[in-house]
Amino acid sequence: MLRTALKPRWLALLVVVLVAAAGMARLGQWQWDRAHDNADENVVARTTQPPVPIGTVIKARQTFTGLAADRPVVAVGTYSAADQLLVPERRLSGRTGLWVLTPLVLEDGSAVGVVRGWVPDAADPAGAAAAVPTGPVAVQGVLRPAEPPADRAPGETSGLPAGQVERVDVTELIGLWRWPLLTGYLVLTDYVAASAADGTTTAVPVETAAPARVPAVPEGTGGIDLRNLSYAGQWFLFAGFGIFMWWRLVRDDHLGVLPPSGPDGDPADPDPAAPEPSDRTTPHEGATL
Amino acid sequence: MKAALTRYRVMAYATGVLLLLLTLHVVLQAVQKDPGQPLFDADGLGAVVPGAGAFIPIAHGWLYLIYVIVSVDLWFRTRLNFPRMVGVVLAGTIPFMSFVAERWVRHQVEPMLARESAAAR
């Protein structure tokens, strides 16, 4: 069997099969990565830009442009803990909890909502006003456009307890907060140390009870993409199948049941089981390939 | 051999029909998509039959895999011309061509079956 496999024609075919199998495995790997990479690549690219001061991207009451979306920015200001809100029905790592949304009053007197993080329930101490860092902070985060208003009939309320809002909707926040608002919100990624133009510095706050950070790139909604996963499996199976085919052909040659090869080969060989003695007796027959 | 031919023919039709649906799906996606939107983001047939957008590509992928396996199984039993059989396998990826391939295979294998039963008699 091994001697048959080492015939030049089968070695040549093995090279072809292995190259093809490697290519298919790569395609399978690519589909596998695609299946697990639900995050929009454009979002990833935008969120990994170097942060810039928030004022250079957007100011209060300005239209939220596409350039501002997912832009990493640094906003220096002071949280207003008393105005903190919770946004229920938010998922993080497969669990449903609440976003902690705190207004950050900027140096120009306007404010931006900052999603400081996620808490599993409304009673969590990290979601309490007492846990909000005091004093000036420099928030590094990713800008997101304000969410559209919740779809409700006139007069209908969200039914949420006080201190909770259904959406990060600026038109609703305007009624709750007293500052001119930016038309988007920030997802906190980190606190940074910043020095202002007047020489004062802003230190990184020490948080006693911090809510879990919300990822800058939204988690994939559907989890693993079944179609890509399916394609990945098929590519791997095809790769394995090619190798199996090679083995089968070598075995047939070894057993002497291989049909005459080449374009002249009779496709309708009436008796494929009849051994071809020449195949078995001349080990170097492959040289005629 | 007869059963292998039947398996092959069933799979050739199934793959062929699914591939036509898949083609229709992609064409629909191209028609539906907004300018600038990636092609595969559109609903395609999913807009007509809910869930079809997810089901058709997955189903076609696995059916094609089975098609390849039954084609090769048929080849091991019939030893049809090998390069042509490669063509038959590839035909499953081209709309309408699996029906053409199925015709060719049937015309090749049916005389073999006739000879087989004649020899058995």
Per-residue pLDDT tens over the stretch B52-80: 777 888 888 888 889 988 988 888 888 88
Q: How far apart are CA A158 and CA A150, in angstroms?
A: 8
Q: How far apart are CA A268 and CA B49, in angstroms?
A: 45
Distance from CA of B84 to the nearest CA of A (A): 9
Within 8 A by CB and 6+ apart from B21, the residues are: B45, B52, B56, B60
Put simply, the answer to whether B72 touches A245 (Cβ < 8 Å) is yes
Q: How far apart are CA A185 and CA A190, in angstroms?
A: 15
Q: What is the mean pLDDT of residues B42-49?
A: 69
**pLDDT at residue B58, as a whole number:** 84
Q: What is the mean pLDDT of residues A230-253?
A: 87
Distance from CA of B76 to the nearest CA of A (A): 9
Residue B53: closest CA among chain A residues belongs to which residue? Answer: A227
Within 8 A by CB and 6+ apart from A33, the residues are: none
Residue A282 has pLDDT above 60, yes or no: no
Q: What is the mean pLDDT of residues A107-122?
A: 93
**pLDDT at residue A218, as a whole number:** 74
Residue B81: closest CA among chain A residues belongs to which residue? Answer: A267
Residue A266: closest CA among chain B residues belongs to which residue? Answer: B81
Distance from CA of B112 to the nearest CA of A (A): 7
Give me the phi and psi of B33, to 5 degrees please.
-65, 145
Number of domains in chain B: 1
User: How many C-beta atoms surround the C-beta of residue A289 within 10 A?
Assistant: 12
* Alpha-carbon separation of residue A185 from A69, A102, A109 (angstroms): 10, 10, 16
Mean pLDDT of all residues belonging to chain A: 80
- Using pLDDT thresholds of 50, 70 and 90, give the confidence band for residue A110: very high
Task: Point out the residue among A230, A248, A270 whose CB comes nearest to the CB of B62.
Answer: A230
Structure tokens at A13: 């075919």
Which chain A residues are Cβ-neighbours of B64 within 8 angstroms?
234
Q: How far apart are CA A288 and CA A3, in angstroms?
A: 16
Quick one: CA torsion of A47, A51, A54, A57, rounded to 10 degrees? -70
Residue A82 has pLDDT above 60, yes or no: yes
Bigger pLDDT: A165 vs B54: A165
Q: How far apart are CA A185 and CA A67, in angstroms?
A: 14
Residue B42 has pLDDT above 80, yes or no: no
Which chain A residues are Cβ-neighbours of B83 within 8 angstroms?
263
Q: Could you list the residue range(s) of the whole structural domain that residue B85 is in?
A: 2-120
Helices (H), chain B: 2-32, 52-78, 82-91, 97-120
Residue to substitute from A34, A38, A234, interface B, most B β-carbons within 10 A = A234
Residue-wise pLDDT tens digits, A17-38: 899 999 988 998 888 887 776 5
Residue A143 has pLDDT above 90, yes or no: yes
Task: Point out the residue among A226, A234, A265 whose CB comes nearest to the CB of B65.
Answer: A234
A132-141, A186-195, B44-53, B98-107: segment of lowest average pLDDT:
B44-53
Which chain A residues are Cβ-neighbours of B120 within 8 angstroms?
none
Residue B110: closest CA among chain A residues belongs to which residue? Answer: A268
Helices (H), A132-214: 170-176
Q: For residues A112 and A105, is the Cβ–Cβ distance under 8 A?
A: no
Buried b (16+ CB within 10 A) or exposed e, A158-179: eeeeeebbbbbbbebbeeebeb
Q: For residues B119 and B111, is the Cβ–Cβ distance under 8 A?
A: no
Put simply, the answer to whether A261 touches B108 (Cβ < 8 Å) is no
Report how far Cα A4 is from the mean position of its chain's Cα atoms.
Answer: 49
If you count residue pairs, one on A and one on B, with CB atoms under 8 Å apart, how many are there?
Answer: 47
Task: Point out the residue among A234, A245, A267 whose CB comes nearest to the CB of B81.
Answer: A267
Residue A266 has pLDDT above 60, yes or no: no
Q: What is the mean pLDDT of residues A97-119?
A: 94
A40-49, A115-124, A176-185: segment of lowest average pLDDT:
A40-49
DSSP-derived secondary structure letter, B37: S
Predicted ipTM of the assembly: 0.71
The segment with the largest mean pLDDT, out of A34-43, A104-113, B38-47, is A104-113
Q: How far apart are CA A10 and CA A16, in angstroms?
A: 10
Percent of chain B whose pLDDT exceeds 90: 4
Report how far Cα B28 is from the mean position of its chain's Cα atoms.
Answer: 21
Put simply, the answer to whether B58 touches A268 (Cβ < 8 Å) is no
Put simply, the answer to whether A238 touches B68 (Cβ < 8 Å) is yes
**pLDDT at residue B35, as a whole number:** 60
Greatest Cα-to-Cα distance within chain B, rounded to the nearest angstrom:
67
The segment with the largest mean pLDDT, out of A101-115, A194-208, B27-41, is A101-115
**pLDDT at residue A283, as a whole number:** 38
Residue B83 has pLDDT above 90, yes or no: no
**Pairing outcome for strands A85-92 and A95-106:** antiparallel
Backbone dihedral region for residue A227 (phi beyond 0: left; psi -120 to 50: alpha; all else: beta): alpha
User: How many C-beta atoms surround the C-beta of residue A58 within 10 A?
Assistant: 21
Task: Point out the residue among A226, A230, A272 whose CB comes nearest to the CB of B79.
Answer: A272
Residue A280 has pLDDT above 60, yes or no: no
Assign B92 to helix, strand or coil: coil
Residue A43 has pLDDT above 60, yes or no: yes
Percent of chain A whose pLDDT exceeds 90: 28
Which chain A residues are Cβ-neighbours of B65 within 8 angstroms?
234, 237-238
**pLDDT at residue A103, as a whole number:** 95
- Using pLDDT thresholds of 50, 70 and 90, give the confidence band for residue A263: very low
- Using pLDDT thresholds of 50, 70 and 90, give the confidence band for residue A276: very low
Q: For residues A75 and A106, is the Cβ–Cβ distance under 8 A?
A: yes
**pLDDT at residue A264, as a whole number:** 40
Residue A247 has pLDDT above 60, yes or no: yes
Model pTM score: 0.51
User: How many C-beta atoms surround the C-beta of residue B82 within 10 A?
Assistant: 17
